[in-house]
Amino acid sequence: MILRALASNNLAEKGAMADDLLQVDVELPRQSYSIHIGTAILDRMVAISASQAGAQHAVLVTDSNVKSLHADSVADSLREAGLRVDLLVIEPGESSKSLDVAGQLWEDLLATGADRTSLVVAVGGGVVGDLAGFIAATYARGIQFLQVPTTLLAQVDSSVGGKVGINLPAAKNMVGAFWQPTGVICDTQTLSSLPDRQFSAGLAEVVKYGVILDESFFAELEDNADAIWSREAAILRRVVARCCELKADVVGQDERETSGLRAVLNYGHTFCHAIESLTGYGQFLHGEAVSIGMLCASRLAVSMGRIDSALTDRQQQLLTRFHLPVAMPSLDPDQMIEAMQHDKKSQHGRLRFVLPCQLGRVELVEDVDLDLVRQSCR
């Protein structure tokens, strides 16, 4: 993993490099690729990336919220670059990550004449990226796709690493594949159009990286929380770049979760996915459920004597500054545990949790007392 155009480890100093186009290289054995991060780069970089992929036909997948904001202009830039372009639009929201919607998209791709030389371009948030990537991974036994994330959560997390998939009613992301994109284009200008709630949800994943991998980054988030919430462009670029750098390093070492290292990225997600499932994938945005889930996991670590409660307090204070929910909804703890049994980290019916042992470091823990899990769900 290489992060180019970085001169400082301090977010505020990095913010002075206002016009830099940053590049994070995700180095993998079979398909390495680059993440490009900048401001007002969307149309230009998508056209360049499509050309580098050798595509003559692009199928853009987006949702009805993003279509007029960003996808239409991306489609125009690809047409100007000489590509034949088709645009497929889904409904926004987690409910679109379903087998029914996937089936319709497969049919739509066939109707456009898409073949193995076509390029799927995912323009939108995490739902669009996960779904479009899954379609690309499975159509014609796999075609190329480009990630163009337009939400903070997608830019810092879901667009990087090649995890694509859809949900089952009882389990999130249970049907999917590892299918790496040809590239990722993160234009932080797209974040200016995000509603505050969506922007806030993305910040939960940003906080996660500090907790699991980088104590100094967590401290810098605390120091720059007001500037980040104000969406100052230069600092946002640096935040996105640092998150991509951290994730690329983990993915480069454990692309398909064979060693257990990549599981650290799921901090808070065992609780999070159970919350989302039990509330019907509609009450909470994913990042909001991550925020609550991280605090549940941190409380569990405290009850097991792994960390001091001060670490939980620091997380809660930062999440609160980013306007994220921190209170557990009224859910039956036994139903939570039952939902957790569907978590992909569980093995032979035994739950496994990613738990902090200090700020900037977490471990995958097995054989956890279920009574302690129940207590952490309250």
pLDDT digits (tens, 9 = 90+) for 38-55: 999 999 999 999 999 999
Amino acid at residue number 362: V
Find where tokens 């029914």 sit. 100
- Read off the pLDDT of each residue in 112-123 and give the average, rounded to a whole number: 98
Residue in 163, 237, 238, 242 annotated catalytic: 163
Question: Quick check: pTM over 0.85?
Answer: yes
Q: Is 193 left (phi over 0), alpha (psi -120 to 50) or beta?
A: alpha
**55: Cβ–Cβ under 8 A, 6 or more apart, which residues?**
83, 117, 118, 119, 144
Higher pLDDT, 48 or 347: 48
Q: Examine the pLDDT at 2 and tell me if it is beyond 60.
A: no
Catalytic residue (one of 36, 172, 262, 345):
262
Q: φ, ψ for residue 59 (rounded to 5)?
A: -115, 110
Percent of the chain with pLDDT over 70: 94
Structural domains for the chain: 2-193 (3.40.50.1970), 267-376 (1.20.1090.10)
d(CA 266, CA 209): 10
From the candidates 266, 276, 299, 314, give the one annotated as an active-site residue. Answer: 266
In the predicted model, is pLDDT for residue 298 greater than 60?
A: yes
Give me the pLDDT at residue 170, please: 83
Angle CA 91–135–143, to nearest 5: 140
Tell me which H or E stretch contains 35. Answer: strand 33-38
The answer to whether residue 367 scores a pLDDT higher than 50 is: yes
* 205 assigned to active site: yes
- In whole numbers, what is the pLDDT of the chain averaged over residues? 93
pLDDT, residue 333, reads 96
Q: What is the pLDDT of residues 15-28, one digit of tens each?
A: 333 357 999 999 99
* 208 is known as an active-site residue: no
- Is the predicted pLDDT of residue 348 greater than 80, yes or no? no
**How far is Cα 326 from Cα 273, in angstroms, rounded to an integer?**
15
State the pairing for strand pair 352-358/361-366. antiparallel
Q: How many angstroms separate the CA atoms of 53 and 58, rounded? A: 11
Better-predicted residue by pLDDT, 342 or 232 = 232
Active-site hit among 70, 97, 237, 273? 273
- Integer Cα distance of 159 and 153 in angstroms: 9
Active site residue 286: yes
Determine whether 196 is exposed, middle or buried from the number of CB atoms within 10 Å of its CB (0-12, 13-18, 19+). exposed
Q: For this structure, is 323 an active site residue?
A: no
Reply yes or no on whether 257 is catalytic: yes
Write out pLDDT tens, residues 271-291. 999 999 999 988 999 999 999
Catalytic residue among 222, 232, 257, 338: 257
Q: Is 163 a catalytic residue?
A: yes
Among the options 36, 237, 286, 314, which is catalytic? 286
342 given a catalytic annotation: no
Contacts of 278 (CB under 8 A, 6+ apart): 331, 335, 336, 339
- Pair 22, 37: CB distance under 8 Å: yes
- Report the pLDDT averaged over residues 330-344: 91
Residue 345 bears catalytic tag:
no
pLDDT digits (tens, 9 = 90+) for 178-225: 999 999 999 999 999 999 999 999 999 999 999 999 999 999 999 999
Q: Which of 247, 299, 345, 352 is catalytic?
A: 247
| Active-site residue, selected from the candidate residues 205, 255, 276, 288 | 205
Is the CB of residue 173 less than 8 Å from the CB of residue 260? no
Residue 94 in contact with residue 127, Cβ under 8 Å? yes
**What is the C-alpha to C-alpha distance for residues 210 and 315, in angstroms, rounded to an integer?**
10
Give, as one character, the DSSP assignment of residue 82. T
